[in-house]
Amino acid sequence: MELIQEIIIFGTIKGCVYALIATGFTLIFAVAGILNLAHGTFYMLGAYFTYTLFYVLGIPLPPAILLAAVLVGALGMLLDRVFLKPMRSSHTYVLVLTVAVAFAAQEIILLTYGSQGMNIPNLIEGSVNLNGVVVSWHQLLIVAITAVVLIMLWLVLTRTRYGVATLAVSMDEDGARLVGIETEKVFNLSMFASAFLAAVAGALISPIMSMTPEMWNMPLMKAFVVVVVGGIGSLTGSIMAAFFLGWLETFTGFVISPKLTEVVSLVLLTVFLVFRPSGILGRRLH
Partner 1 sequence: MKKLLAMMLILGLAVMAAGPASAADTIRIGLLAPLSHQVGEGEVNAAKMAVKRINDAGGIDGKKLELFIEDTEIKPEKAINGYKKLVMVDKVQAVMGAFSSGVVLSLMDHVARYKVPFISTASSSNTFGEKVAKDYARYKYFFRLMLNETDQVNGMVEFVDSFLKPKLNIKKVAVMAEDAKWTKLMGAQFVEQIKTKGIEVTDYIRFPFKETDFAPILSRVKNAKVQFLLEISAIADGAVYINQWHDMQGPPIGGCDTSAGSEDFWDKTNGKCMSETVFMYGAYDVALTPKTKPFWADYIKIYGKEPKYASGFTYDAVYVVANAVKAAGTTKADALVAAIEKTDYVGVSGRIQFKKNHNTICGSDGRPMMIWHQWQGKGQRLPVYPEKYATAKFILPAWWSVK
Partner 2 sequence: MLANLKTPAQRHTAIFYGLIMVGFYFVPVFSDNFYLLSVFTTAYFYIIFATSWDVFAGYSHLMNFGHALFIGIAGYLTAFVDLHLGLPPLLVLPMCAVVCGLLGMFIGYLTLRMQGPYFAIITMAFAAVAYESAIMFSEYTGGEEGIPGIHPLTDSLIGDYYFVLVVMSLIFLFLLWFTRGRWGLVLKAISQNEDAVLASGINTAWVKIRAYSISGALCGIGGSVYAYSLTHVGPTSMEQVLSTTILIMAMVGGMGTITGPFLGALILVLFNELSRDMEEYRLLIYTVMVVVIIFFAPRGIVSWGQPIARAFKLGGKRGQAGS
| Bridge partners of residue 118, in order along the sequence | 211
The burial class, CB within 10 Å (0-12 / 13-18 / 19+), for 281 is middle
Specify the stretch interacting with partner 2 by CB under 8 A; choose among 63-71, 83-91, 139-147, 175-183.
83-91
Least distance to partner 1, CB of residue 207, Å: 7
| Residue 134 is a binding residue for partner 1 (CB under 8 A) | yes
The single residue among 59, 247, 277, 281 that binds partner 2, judged by CB under 8 A, is 277
Name which of residues 17 to 56 contact partner 2 (CB under 8 A): 35
Residue 147's binding partner among partner 1, partner 2, none (Cβ under 5 to 8 angstroms by kind) is none
The contacts of residue 250 (CB under 8 Å, 6+ apart) are 6, 7, 10, 11, 14, 261
| Residue 89 is a binding residue for partner 2 (CB under 8 A) | no
The single residue among 3, 4, 87, 130 that binds partner 2, judged by CB under 8 A, is 87
Residue 118's binding partner among partner 2, partner 1, none (Cβ under 5 to 8 angstroms by kind) is partner 1
Question: What is the pattern of x (binds partner 1, CB under 8 A) and - over residues 64-103?
Answer: ----------------------------------------
Residue 221's binding partner among partner 1, partner 2, none (Cβ under 5 to 8 angstroms by kind) is partner 2
| Residue 6 is a binding residue for partner 1 (CB under 8 A) | yes
Give dist(CA 252, CA 153) in Å, integer: 31
Helices (H), ranges, the chain: 2-32, 39-51, 61-79, 91-113, 137-159, 161-171, 173-178, 183-209, 217-230, 235-251, 261-275
Size of the site for partner 2 (CB under 8 A): 36
Give dist(CA 187, CA 167) in Å, integer: 11
Helix (H) or strand (E) holding 136: strand 133-136
